[in-house]
Structure formats: C-alpha cells, structure tokens
Homo-oligomer: A and B are copies of this chain.
C-alpha cells in the first residue's frame, strides 16, 4: 500500500496520553491490514508557546501541510489563559483552521449504549439520538475584524461577522451531501429574523436546496434550536450552521448525549485532507495520571481512516474493537460506575489494540 503521512499533534494536558494510545492502534492496523503510515510529531498549543514562543510554529504548519491528515489530542490549560492574544493556545487553533483551509467541522453526537445513563436527559427522550453538527469553521465573527476604539460612552470593542456566498454555499452543500448519506434530514440554523449574515445564509440554503430533493430541509432559529435539542434530540439528523452558533450548539448536543468524553470530530477542507480530534478538551486537572479515556481519540483515528483514507475495513475494525472492549465491561474512570474497577489510559489502549 502507499504510505499515508499523518501529522501527530499531542498538545497539552491529557493530549499526549490519549494520542499515544491512538498511535498504538495505528501501528496495530499496519500489522493487521497492511496499511503503511508515516507519522511526524509537531508542537502546537501551550507546549509550543513554552518551547517555541508561539502556539502555531511555522514548522508545525509545514508538517501538517505535507501530511495527508492530522491527528490532534487537545490544547490549552490555565497556564496560558491569561496570556496576551498572540500567546494563547486558542489563537493557534483558529490559526491552524484558517491556514489549512478547514472550513467544515463535523461533530457527531451519538449515544453510547454503555453511557446511556450518564446523560442528564431522560432515557426515553434520548432514545435514538444520533445527530451530526456541521459547523462552518473559518468564517463569521471568529475571523472578522476586531478592534477597540474610543466612544462617548467609554472604550468600545468591536467584532465583525461576515459571510460571503461562496463560504456559505460550500458548507451548506457539504451538509446536504452528508444528510444524503444519513437519514436525509437537514436543519439549517440561523438568526435570520435579526442578522444580515443569517439572511444571506438562508438565501443560499434555499437556493441550493432544490439540488438535493431527497433531503428534507427545515430552517430553525438558533434560540429555538437550543430548545429543540433538549426537547426532541432524536428528531435531528444533520444540523448545519455558522461558526459561533455551531460552537454553542455542538457542545450542547454533545453534552446531552452523555457521551461527550467518547465523541470524535473531523475538520475538513476541500479534498480529502482533514484534522481529527476528540471533542473533549485537555482536562489539565487529570493530566499525567493515567486517568484519561483514550476512546474519543481512537475513534477520531477511525474517522480519519474512513473519511480521509477510505480505509473502511480499518475504521470498522477500530470501532468494533472499541465496542467489544466496552461490552466486555472495561471502563476508564470517567465512565466507570464503580471507580475502583476503572482501568488506566494505557490499559484501555492495550485492550483495544488486542481486540483489533
């Protein structure tokens, strides 16, 4: 097989621990399926600030650009929270998304059987919940002009939210296509009764919708969506929305499944290149203790196999191995009901490797 190059960014907090387990899984798939991977590690986030003086060093960007895909652990932590803007991990995150053209963030929110009870929602409400938030990732208020100025009412801060037709159309078409491969329902979320960017968004959605006649489309206002996710989570299939709304709604959706610690995500651009990472954060409070759950990162790898490499067999095998290990009752402490029986990060990784 040809060699696939993966840029590996461990990052901060529990990042290095969970990424190490995913790398063991990667090796195992080489043995079992004959894939060939070349991995290159790169510094990013807080550790890059500490070691290189910037959250997104040039070398890291070139490692990513020369790779077929990126596996990211997690970045950030209290240590860097009060840094100036250029020296914050989040700035690196926004920078890497923009530099790699990752305009689309896919965040599936599914309920893991073994975690059904972990949700704060009633099981009967959650039943059947399996949705995907498609979030625009390189536009909107995150990337608009920002500044301070003097006003008659004291200092004033300004953020600008802009979207053009091209930006909206590419993400919306992608969402329609994803919906075609799922239950064929798309909810487009905006605030068209107030925002001009939302009105443009809705116009574009309505213009392209006839190209996907098999997809049932609904427009949902963002405030209403925040409510409907709570009231009828299982009725959603694909949700597409702009950057800021997607940030809020994808976290709400992930949390309501009760499975947030196990969810994978993909950030994609044009072509097959993608950045894959767990939905959870860097959890600095438990870092370095072998307590972290590597499953979300391992499932991010499966998502990479499926989406970027087309390695369906390997992806299926990883996902099946995760299921098997969970079904056999193994749990890291975050998902263990009886904490005294919890296994470590590396043990969980070993079991999944063995099950492949």
Q: Which residues of A contact B (CB under 8 A)?
A: 88, 90, 94, 120-122, 125, 141-142, 144, 146-148, 151, 153-167, 169, 191, 193-197, 199-201, 222-224, 226-227, 230-231, 244-245, 247-252, 254-256, 260
Contacts and interface: CB of A to CB of B under 8 A. Distances in A.
Contacts of A251: 223-224, 226-227
Contacts of A121: 120-122, 230
29 contacts: A88-B193, A90-B193, A120-B125, A142-B194, A153-B166, A155-B165, A156-B162, A156-B164, A156-B165, A157-B162, A157-B199, A157-B201, A158-B160, A159-B162, A159-B195, A159-B196, A191-B244, A223-B250, A224-B251, A226-B248, A226-B251, A226-B255, A227-B251, A227-B254, A227-B260, A230-B230, A230-B256, A231-B255, A245-B248
Contacts of A166: 153-154
A196 B158 contact: yes
B162 A200 contact: no
A256 B120 CA distance: 10
Nearest to A281: B224
Contact of A120 (B122, B142, B162, B248): B122
Contacts of A249: 226
A195 B154 contact: no
A166 B230 CA distance: 35
A155 B165 CA distance: 6
Contacts of A224: 251
